[in-house]
Chain A
């Protein structure tokens, strides 16, 4: 429990820090790092929310990207089409708020970085996106969660693809052309803010008698039911909460990049998040946060490495010794799916519990009945 509190504290500290930098950088050369940080925040939300479902409750969902898509498109539509009136209202009222807070000028940078209306609009849109994603989670979860293990994985994969196909066929959402989101309001404060909220909710849920229920569902459903735990209810709650936060991540993403395509929310995106959860250790929030950070930074590092002279030099030396002509090895470094797939295979073979996970969830329990 104290490790959980430490994690949260660290996060809140960074949140506080970002409140100061909340605004988009006006220095162009910082944009690249800003980008990475925002992506870290979004990935943390995705990983922590999926961990509640896959890690703590033991339900293997491969469709997280679908819920992210619902949140992204819903929030994007809301901002651009459904709520210009609300935004006008907020713009009008932001003047009032700024006036009200004027007596406390030292508060303004922390609480309401720059344009108040933008930030309020972002919160509303994100909550809307999260809420719709939660509804989608309910719709998918209730029928699917009675299936076991591998079947559940396939069904959630299927639903993820169906969501994507639906978006592809809805003209209002831009179909294959994609949809642009004009309100690019996301900043680090809100990204890490929502991340902190996600972490808090998951941790406080799990660290309670009620939350122990999730773990019992993971450990032994039959025994859990026999102890009076409504396993279906727990699974659905985990699923819906997970979907909600996936939706908020989607909304933050939409309001950052300003452009959405269905391809960006395909199965590979779901795999991205799954790899984070597995690397971090299913059932360890601290672990998956670390994994999310690592797996956001790592591809960038590899890409940087690919652009140095080291790789071509290495390749030349290699081909001097072993006369096989290989395609440029930089390609291996830039394709993060090769890295991820190897990571998955090697981890399952050597350390299935990931960085911080417990072994119980990943090794088969030996039946402890003695011979009779």
Chain B
């Protein structure tokens, strides 16, 4: 591909040097470039939405239509944009604190009603911009510096199981360190008609650096299942592996189709 899509802004990038959010940004820019230059979508018809936290800075680094919402409200923002103009392709970036703590009710309902929106969760398993507290996906025992110095006592949430149960029609997980595969999953999610959910393991290099732990344990599934038992088999680890890829994909009428 010789053409390039101009997606960079003049904003100064303020993520920590080496932050894995930059890998996610690269994966998305590449995914969008391929979709636009390949004629799948027109750039002006795409909107990127973000919440509040480290992940949320991504909208400042994307020269395109963007909407920076409130903490936890990425999903209703996406749904509103889609209700306002169903012709738009809407892509949400949301932190694990936004998606699984502050705004988890919205996530469940968006999946249930199969709204044709895409949600990419930057799951770093920590509140980072507030300097290290536990989120719903922090491992049990995680010593958040400023809220649980003796260790988090709660069990972590499994967002993939939750999304399967809630009715999401596209359920995937990726590891941000594999930019090429993350890009492909993003493209597949955007191409999917219905609620596409992608949990992106995105280690925080400052407060919970799990890169070494994940790098060797990531495995990739070949193709999604179209039924729950199949999806559960694909998601199940073998030993300490962390399966990634698209686990589940089915077609169901979208909210917009049912409303019109």
Task: Say if A and B assemble together.
Answer: no
- Residues of A whose CB lies within 8 Å of any CB of B are none
